[in-house]
Chains A and B, each alone.
Chain A
């Protein structure tokens, strides 16, 4: 499928913003939704809206099939061993908090270590910070290389026999760098620690195989991969999920309820308290079908091409500082940058007047910003629907931005 065909499935892209055709370069924040996903949601609400796992009526059965069918799709999408290992959550943040509470509270003790890195998103920092505080454990950070990558040697030097949890992002939402998760998993396991992966920025853009990565937990969000907001996934190895306690208690997740004691449903439902995000899961299933039809390898290749093109083009702009590895093969399709003399928010405002949407700010990665010695950056992030022409438009607008600001003085 070529990009033109792919774009035809995204109704939102065909509009003007501030008098210019929309150039949406903020997919790392949230992706746009293909018509297949929008229609799946519409169909659910129009034709078989019903609660799941309860009703014996026809709509209830259809809704349950849709919801549980989406779980099977997720299982195959990330190559999990069993469907029991797929827990639906609200998103990456909830997934990581579930591990910190459900696993961390049981197995981390005073004096233990939790290892993360300087490039982590806040959602992969704060749950561990809080866990460390609750337990009197130590939170340790793996340093970064000059080009914004993590080396296996640095992980080796940070992880010790006291480390209980290693939690690293698969792909950086700021630097775009792809981390060597398989090797890091091996180090974690060699020291008796578990490996948690924040997959928010990898699952939409590349083939993920949790068995190959040998991670213990893998968290990701639907909305960054074409699905609705409010649905996410926690993958966990079955043996670990079995041992964990639920973190939310109430309807749906129970087996028998007594006056003083209750028991929980089996996996994965013991982690899905309350009425689940039914439409969201069905939408996620539709998004997975859509992505798989195009092929994750094709999406990854397309993004590498865009990243390489953007890096090349943007470097021609004087005063442009680009963060992360300059080798496009070491990164996914996003470019984070600053421009001399022009603050990132001002860059984003000027681009917006040209119909170009980028992100500016700290990208929920304040420790990384501090590490990079910047308070804020701008980020253009690409997805399967972006084109080289759009990168040309970005480059032209950035040049105009630079001129505009030098003229004002």
Chain B
């Protein structure tokens, strides 16, 4: 494997989200607050969501982690905003399939998240990418 293969992992769009995270911060009026960490590596995420009438009105994240986990959180908060909870959960399932290199349902456009496809080739990093999504799922399930 050469440095070229890394380009599959560190796409420009991922590094852009890492360097310029969207929706960084915490919602004052959030209806859901979730803290989650990856105990094996120390990455952590603080996710706040404002869910009204089954729709994600707003979402913000804070945290500390590698480029993959933080970019994934930035992209996730971007794409779930304005979506129904069921759609967000469906996206999470699709994303999880994508990360595991499985065939995935492409009926929902995952936008920038498609750039994370390369993570599937780096098994040690899959947990990084799915951390924010696991946090979102936990928040929804517990609400």
Interface residues of A (CB under 8 A from B): 18-19, 343-346, 349-350, 352-353, 360-362, 366, 369, 375-376, 400, 404-405, 408-409
Q: Flag if A19 contacts B1 (CB, 8 Å).
A: yes
What's the minimum C-beta distance from A18 to chain B, rounded to whole angstroms? 4
B-side interface residues, number (CB < 8 Å): 24
Contacts of B5 in A (CB 8 A): 353
**What is the number of contacts between chain A and chain B, taking CB atoms within 8 Å?**
61
Q: Flag if B12 contacts A408 (CB, 8 Å).
A: yes
Contacts A349-B122, A375-B44, A375-B64; is A400 near B3 (CB within 8 Å)?
Answer: yes
Contact among B1, B15, B44, B65 with A408 in the assembled complex (CB-CB below 8 Å): B15
Q: How far is the CA of A409 from the CA of B3 in the complex (A)?
A: 16
Q: Flag if A345 contacts B128 (CB, 8 Å).
A: yes
Q: How far is the CA of A18 from the CA of B41 in the complex (A)?
A: 23
Contacts of A349 in B (CB 8 A): 6, 9, 122, 124-125
Q: Flag if B43 contacts A376 (CB, 8 Å).
A: yes
What's the minimum C-beta distance from B63 to chain A, rounded to whole angstroms? 9
Q: How far is the CA of A405 from the CA of B40 in the complex (A)?
A: 24
Contacts of A350 in B (CB 8 A): 3, 6
Known: A376-B43, A405-B10. 20 other contacts (CB 8 A): A18-B1, A345-B65, A345-B125, A346-B66, A346-B67, A349-B6, A349-B124, A349-B125, A350-B3, A353-B1, A353-B5, A361-B42, A362-B41, A366-B42, A369-B42, A404-B6, A408-B12, A408-B15, A409-B15, A409-B19
B73 contacts chain A at the CB level, 8 A cutoff: no
Chain B residue nearest to A348 in the complex (CB):
B124
Contacts of B15 in A (CB 8 A): 405, 408-409
Q: How far is the CA of A176 from the CA of B6 in the complex (A)?
A: 31
Q: How far is the CA of A408 from the CA of B124 in the complex (A)?
A: 22
Contacts of A375 in B (CB 8 A): 42-44, 64-65
Chain B residue nearest to A343 in the complex (CB):
B66
Interface SS, A side: helix
Contacts of A405 in B (CB 8 A): 10, 15
B2 contacts chain A at the CB level, 8 A cutoff: yes
Q: How far is the CA of A344 from the CA of B41 in the complex (A)?
A: 10
What's the minimum C-beta distance from A26 to chain B, rounded to whole angstroms? 13
Contacts of A18 in B (CB 8 A): 1
B98 contacts chain A at the CB level, 8 A cutoff: no
Q: How far is the CA of A379 from the CA of B42 in the complex (A)?
A: 15
What's the minimum C-beta distance from A360 to chain B, rounded to whole angstroms? 7
B47 contacts chain A at the CB level, 8 A cutoff: no
Q: How far is the CA of A345 from the CA of B127 in the complex (A)?
A: 12
Q: Flag if A353 contacts B2 (CB, 8 Å).
A: yes
Question: In this complex, which of A18, A344, A408 has the most chain B Cβ atoms within 10 angstroms of its Cβ?
Answer: A408
What's the minimum C-beta distance from B109 to chain A, rounded to whole angstroms? 25
B135 contacts chain A at the CB level, 8 A cutoff: no
Q: Which 5 residue pairs of A and B lie closest in terms of their CB atoms, listed nearest first?
A: A345-B66, A18-B1, A362-B42, A343-B66, A361-B41
Interface CB pairs A-B, < 8 A, 29: A19-B1, A343-B65, A343-B66, A344-B66, A345-B65, A345-B68, A345-B125, A346-B66, A346-B67, A349-B9, A349-B122, A352-B124, A353-B2, A353-B3, A353-B5, A361-B40, A366-B42, A375-B43, A375-B64, A375-B65, A376-B42, A376-B64, A376-B66, A400-B3, A404-B6, A405-B15, A408-B10, A409-B15, A409-B19
